[in-house]
């Protein structure tokens, strides 16, 4: 069973709607510089020639030019491994071979499977993941903070669930994640992360999304089970997924939906009691309406502290309707006096979104160019920072691997006289990626967190393969990171010899 799950997760998870979307690994131009399925931080663009940035070049008070200062907290052994892993992940054929091995029959044989997983654990897993259980992850968060001052975002690295029993099991893992965060000093961590797809069956999320779309299309269509929420659509939102009136939820589906609400509310309640912020991750547009609905309905219940939200929803700036939906949600939150938290990302589903839209005869819901995505991200970022600066209780997590966005945010923070340390605004990057940007932002005085997934090696395989694909075609930030690491290793070697 474990082997079958491992192979199925890798092959099908990124493109799980195989009846609508051709299955295949992401192409270089379609992958993203982030995360996420688990955490999306940056859309990809053609990689320009490498250059060594000058002090404060276009990045305001974020200095990415001095690699000795940037990597001063990183031991040489860790720097060497990080450089090797990131360079290996940037080699296209190596990533393709690794993908093939992880989905091949070699994983059906105990001996070869053990060898492969052992190699993965000692290299890519240790670089990108925080540990195999909550206790190990908490210890990694503690050690990272003590070494570098970077905080941790803890997330149990499960992708999705298909039945109630698995959802219940995953909920327990998320509750243990909160306990692990609670055991840490508050300065060491920033939040925990939950994926709604792990605590509500995928099929039900799709059904709920279909019904929500139809309700938006037809004013006479009412959903008796719907809880109070904020808007999840705008006039520019993609609605082509639902072309005819869906069948209402069956009695069994309504019970499953109620159980999903109980799970997310139990997680929110635990976070509220522990004073631990909860970030809800985003998904494909075929599922996102249901996820937004559940995130906002939970926020209405649990964001009761007027100074600090507990529940944060995620906005994907590569979607054309992102800005409009963000404004509508904020407008409704302010109207109802609900402090709201938002995690702003670029996006991680370019390939699957484009294929699904094309198969249904529609244009992709994603911006046509990377420049449009950058503009949307920066506009949303500015809007959220302004809201967070006026004492309205809004919280903002700027999840980005883009140094220009980091520089613009730093400049905006100065213009708005934002207290960099009050927790209202923070930055985030994936653990094991964009370390130079993380260190640069930290040295500029910001709260900076690393998104740190944990779980058994088998569970982390889909996440690790996506990180490899992202790093292979990552924008200049990733390439410059590797260059800066090489330069620092060379500097240390010369200093050692001298």
Take residue 234 and report the two structure tokens written for it.
């705008």
Take residue 53 and report the two structure tokens written for it.
């940035």
> First CA to last CA across the chain, in angstroms?
56
**In terms of Cα–Cα distance, which of 236, 237, 239, 252 is closest to 211?**
239
The pLDDT assigned to 9 comes to 39
The pLDDT assigned to 60 comes to 53
CA distances from 439 to 30, 193, 207, 302, 442 (A): 28, 22, 43, 33, 5
> Are 315 and 231 contacting, i.e. CB atoms less than 8 angstroms apart?
no
Q: Compute the distance between CA of residue 344 and CA of residue 32 in angstroms, rounded to an integer.
A: 15
Q: CB under 8 Å to 49, separation ≥6 — which residues?
A: none
Q: Compute the distance between CA of residue 121 and CA of residue 367 in angstroms, rounded to an integer.
A: 37
Q: CB under 8 Å to 41, separation ≥6 — which residues?
A: 32, 33, 34, 35, 345, 346, 399, 400, 401, 402, 428, 429, 430, 434
**In terms of Cα–Cα distance, which of 245, 318, 333, 329 is closest to 285?**
318
The pLDDT assigned to 32 comes to 31
The pLDDT assigned to 229 comes to 97
The pLDDT assigned to 276 comes to 96
**In terms of Cα–Cα distance, which of 424, 274, 401 is closest to 348?**
401
Take residue 183 and report the two structure tokens written for it.
């055991």
The pLDDT assigned to 274 comes to 95
Residue 387 burial (CB count, 10 A) = 20
CA atoms within a 13 Å half-sphere pointing along the CA-CB vector of 300: 17
The pLDDT assigned to 468 comes to 65
Q: What are the 10-residue block averages of pLDDT along the chain, 498 residues in total?
A: 36 36 34 34 43 45 81 87 80 76 80 85 88 95 94 92 95 97 93 96 98 95 96 96 96 98 98 96 96 98 94 97 98 96 92 91 95 96 93 90 92 90 88 91 94 90 70 57 86 80
Take residue 139 and report the two structure tokens written for it.
């210890």
The pLDDT assigned to 103 comes to 75
Q: CB under 8 Å to 287, separation ≥6 — which residues?
A: 197, 202, 205, 206, 209
The pLDDT assigned to 15 comes to 34
467 Ramachandran zone, left/alpha/beta (phi>0; psi -120 to 50): alpha
The pLDDT assigned to 498 comes to 53
pTM for the model: 0.85
CA distances from 69 to 157, 403, 485, 494 (A): 32, 17, 12, 16
The secondary structure of the chain, three-state, reads CHHHHHHHHHHHHHHCCCCCCCCCCCCCCCCECCCCCCCCCCECCCCCCCCCCCCCCCCCCCCCCCHHHHCCCCCHHHHHHHHHHHHHHCCHHHHHHHHHHHCCHHHHCHHHHHHHHHHHHHHHHHHHCCCCCHHHHHHHHHHHHHHHCCEEEEEECCCCCCCHHHHHHHHHHHHHHHHHHHCCCCCCEEEEEECHHHCCCHHHHHHHHHHHHHHHHCCCCCCCCCCCCCCCCCCCCCCCCCCCCCCCCCHHHHHHHHHHHHHHHHHHHHHHHHCCCEEECCCCCCCHHHHHHHHHHHHHHHCCCCCCCCEEEEEECCECCHHHHHHHHHHHHHHCCCCCEEEEECCCCHHHHHHHHHHCCCCCCECCCHHHHHHHHHHHHHHHHHHHHCCCCCEEEEECCCHHHHHHHHHHHHHCCCCCCCCCEEEEEECCCCHHHHHHHHHCCCCEEEEEEECCHHHHHHHHHHHHHHHHCCCHHHHHHHHHHHHHHHHHHHHHHC
The secondary structure of 365-384, three-state, reads CECCCHHHHHHHHHHHHHHH
């Amino acid at each position: 069973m474990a082997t079958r799950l491992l192979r199925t997760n890798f092959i099908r998870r990124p493109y799980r709607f195989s009846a609508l979307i051709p299955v295949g690994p992401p192409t270089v131009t379609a992958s993203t510089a982030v995360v996420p399925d688990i955490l999306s931080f940056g859309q990809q663009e053609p990689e320009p020639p490498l250059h060594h940035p000058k002090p404060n070049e276009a990045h305001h008070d974020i200095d990415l030019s001095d690699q000795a200062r940037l990597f001063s907290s990183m031991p040489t052994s860790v720097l060497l491994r990080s450089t090797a892993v990131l360079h290996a992940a940037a080699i296209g054929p190596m990533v393709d071979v690794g993908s093939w091995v992880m989905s091949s029959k070699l994983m059906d044989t105990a001996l070869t499977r053990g060898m492969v997983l052992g190699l993965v654990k000692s290299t890519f897993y240790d670089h990108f993941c925080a540990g195999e259980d909550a206790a190990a992850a908490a210890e990694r968060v503690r050690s990272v903070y003590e070494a570098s001052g970077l905080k941790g975002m803890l997330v149990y690295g499960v992708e999705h669930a298909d039945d109630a029993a698995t959802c219940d099991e995953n909920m327990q893992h998320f509750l243990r994640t909160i306990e692990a965060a609670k055991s840490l000093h508050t300065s060491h961590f920033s939040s925990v992360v939950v994926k709604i797809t792990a605590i509500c069956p995928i099929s039900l999320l799709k059904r709920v999304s279909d019904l929500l779309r139809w309700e938006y299309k037809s004013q006479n269509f009412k959903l008796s089970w719907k809880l109070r929420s904020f808007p999840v659509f705008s006039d520019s939102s993609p609605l082509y997924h639902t072309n005819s009136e869906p069948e209402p939820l069956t009695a069994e589906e309504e019970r499953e939906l109620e159980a999903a609400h109980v799970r997310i509310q139990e997680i929110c309640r635990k976070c509220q009691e522990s004073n631990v912020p909860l970030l809800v991750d985003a998904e494909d547009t075929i599922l996102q309406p249901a996820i937004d609905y559940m995130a906002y309905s939970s926020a209405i219940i649990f964001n009761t502290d007027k100074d600090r939200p507990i529940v944060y929803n995620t906005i994907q700036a590569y979607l054309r309707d992102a800005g409009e939906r963000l404004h509508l949600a904020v407008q409704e939150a302010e109207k109802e006096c609900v402090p709201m938290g938002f995690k702003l990302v670029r996006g991680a589903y370019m390939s699957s979104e484009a294929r699904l839209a094309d198969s249904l005869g529609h244009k992709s819901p994603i911006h046509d160019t990377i420049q449009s995505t950058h503009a949307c991200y920066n506009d949303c970022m500015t809007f959220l920072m302004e809201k967070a600066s006026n004492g309205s209780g809004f919280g903002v997590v700027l999840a980005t691997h883009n140094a220009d966005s980091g520089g613009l945010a730093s400049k905006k923070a100065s213009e708005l006289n934002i207290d960099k340390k009050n927790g209202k605004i923070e930055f985030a990057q994936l653990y094991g990626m964009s370390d130079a940007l993380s260190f640069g932002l930290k040295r500029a005085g910001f709260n900076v967190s690393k998104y740190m997934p944990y779980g058994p090696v088998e569970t982390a395989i889909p996440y690790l393969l996506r990180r490899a694909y992202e790093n292979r075609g990552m924008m200049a930030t990733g390439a410059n990171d590797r260059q800066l690491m090489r330069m620092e290793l060379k500097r240390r070697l010369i200093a050692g010899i001298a």
